[in-house]
Amino acid sequence: MGASNNLCSFETELAACAKARGLRIEPLGSALGHTLTIATRAARRAPAARLLIAAGFHGEEPAGPWGMVEFLRLAPDALLDRAELSLIPLVNASGFAAGRRLNDSGENPNRGYGARCGDDLPSAEGRVLVAHGQRLLHAAADGLLCCHEDLAEHATYAYTFEPGRAPGAFSHGLIDTAARYFALPPDGEIDGLPVRNGLIHNHYDGSFEAWLCESGVPAAACIETPGQQDFGRRVLAQAALMQAFVALRAGA
């Protein structure tokens, strides 16, 4: 791996892993001079869960995209075979290349979606994703995982969405995996939101994940690895969380 924000190196390694694991990469559209791609892999076994994993919404959170490369290297065939898998490896390529949260137009690619968007409009990347809303909703029919980092944190946590007032097996399964890599934050607040056992539950905020959940996706999570910790460990944690997500939703 080169520098964590080396876009060329990332795209080369991702393409090689995707090819080796039998994924097909195709363009969804173009945003700020970069092609936003989706990689898909058909299930080899039935019944299969339709699962979508998306990374790289924020350019200064590189462990998500690199974690997807590691996931494609490490995930057992027996796990991948149970899912109709769709991956969006890097939403915000211009921000990633610059090591910067926002895109080249100063927009936040994880705001401006759905009913709770408030005054926010989708970013250039968001407009591409919204244009493919029905396809993405179908791809995430059994679950969605969005991969983020919190640069200020030493601890790991997740926003999770599933029916009911309290987090269920899906949320707990994911955070238990994250806790194998990093400490959980103390119960209290993060960014003004209540966090308990490392989980912020059913918070709808105009994000990509909130939008797809509003639209019917039954379970989703936005995982946050801690930017204050070692980068290699964050990458491994992201890859493990992707594997856990597939296992939890595909029943593997």
Instruction: Report the SS3 class of residue 135.
Output: helix
Smallest gap, in angstroms, from Cβ of residue 147 to Ni ion?
Answer: 9
Range in contact with Ni ion (rule: CB under 5 A) among 11-19, 54-62, 90-98, 170-178: 54-62
- The structure tokens listed for 84 are 């109709």
Query: Among 148, 201, 234, 249, which residue interacts with Ni ion (rule: CB under 5 A)?
Result: 148
H helices within the chain, ranges in order?
7-20, 63-74, 77-80, 93-98, 124-131, 133-139, 169-178, 208-214, 231-250
Region near Ni ion per CB under 5 A, out of 28-36, 86-94, 132-140, 147-155: 147-155
User: What residue number has its CB nearest to Ni ion?
Assistant: 148
* Residue 70 or 153 with smaller CB distance to Ni ion: 153
Q: Which is nearer to Ni ion, 50 or 58 (CB)?
A: 58
Give the strand pairing for 49-55 and 143-150. parallel
Q: Which stretch binds Ni ion (CB under 5 A): 19-27, 91-99, 148-156, 169-177?
A: 148-156
**What residue has token string 């989708």?**
122
8 A C-beta contact, residue 31 and residue 127:
yes
Strand partners, 52: 86, 144
Relative to beta strand 193-195, strand 143-150 is unpaired
Give the whole-angstrom CA distance, residue 183 versus residue 34.
36
Count of residues of this chain found to bind Ni ion when the rule CB under 5 A is applied? 3
Does position 41 interact with Ni ion (CB under 5 A)? The reply is no
Residue of the chain from 34, 41, 50, 58 that contacts Ni ion (CB under 5 A):
58
Q: Which stretch binds Ni ion (CB under 5 A): 7-15, 144-152, 159-167, 235-243?
A: 144-152
Please give the residue ranges that form the binding site for Ni ion (CB under 5 A): 58, 61, 148
